[in-house]
Amino acid sequence: MNISVIGCGRWGTFITWYLSNHGHQVVLWGRTGSEKFNSLKQTRKNEYVSINENVLLTDDLSNAVKHAQIIIISISSQSLREFMSTLSNYNIKDKIILLCMKGVECDSGKRLTEVVLDYGVDKNKVAVWVGPGHIQDFVSGYPNCMVIDSYSQELTKMLADSFRTELIRFYYGNDVIGSEIGAAAKNVMGIAAGMLDGGGFSTLKGPLMARGAYEVAKLIKAMGGDPLSAYGLCHLGDYETTLFSEHSHNRKFGECYVKNLPFTKLAEGVSTCKSLKLLGEKFNVDMPITNAVYSILYDKAEPMEVLLGLFSRSTRIEFNL
């Protein structure tokens, strides 16, 4: 397939590496003037991967769009609307839009596929790629399982079957709401886990996982999705890579925050906790972990006081979905 990858960060370059190594024709687009993109053009590598010579690197968006049957977008979630405003100026009517990014729009609380649909894209041509895995592990040959989900089962199967290899086994998703919310929310849980690590209370990550999945399942159900999605690869199945791995940006951000150490890489959970708090209020769902992370990051509450307070809540919780 002819594929254009939008975004030259760690996931954009990994996707380019992965798909170009498995028989697809790939174009990688980066912003004009981007330091990351300029470095890739000069060296064709970054700290994660080396880009094949058969991959075209371009900052010409019209060229990237023209080339593609499938446009894979891997940028900051809060930049998606601005990018779609630009992308919609090109002829994307027959293009498949695949989002390999996790988050919820802060101002509106919209899922990322909803943001894409705001720009007139055919609903049956929009999909998401979510699930566990770190680039450092993939490039070292360690396999994992991920999920493709969309509004069209035909599209879901086509993408999953086309991208499946021994390195990544793709499962068919059947709940776009659950896949998007679950994937976004796990980053908030990752921040909370990192704060527990930083504060010396890593033993509480077990209760955090159990209560976190339940909290997210309730929100998914209230939004019209399948609550069991929270227990699949998009959320609970991604906890090992997000709540425990040294490679997790969100876990590391939480740890550094508690220790008052600098952290300069993107942690999507910072904006996502704001979005999920909004959704919890909109759908009248109690979101204690999300609200705790929000109060720490935005209200500057004392981290360990707030987090340890979660575990003194009433034990008479009915786990009914």
Residue from 129, 186, 136 nearest 155 by CA: 129
- Is the model's pLDDT at 319 over the cut of 80? no
pLDDT of residue 247: 94
Say whether 95 is catalytic.
Answer: no
Q: How confident is the model at residue 220 (pLDDT cuts 50, 70, 90)?
A: very high
Q: Count of residues for the chain?
A: 321
Q: How confident is the model at residue 304 (pLDDT cuts 50, 70, 90)?
A: very high
Q: What percent of the chain has pLDDT over 70?
A: 97
Identify the H or E element spanning 141.
none
Both tokens of 55, joined, read: 């991959």
pLDDT of residue 312: 81
What mean pLDDT comes out for the span 209-223?
97
- Structural domains in the chain, sorted by start: 2-172 (3.40.50.720), 184-310 (1.10.1040.10)
Query: What predicted TM-score, i.e. pTM, was given to this entire model?
Result: 0.94
Question: Active site residue: 95, 125, 186, 274, which one?
Answer: 186
Strand order in the sheet with 25-29: 56-58, 25-29, 2-6, 70-73, 96-99, 126-130, 144-150, 168-172
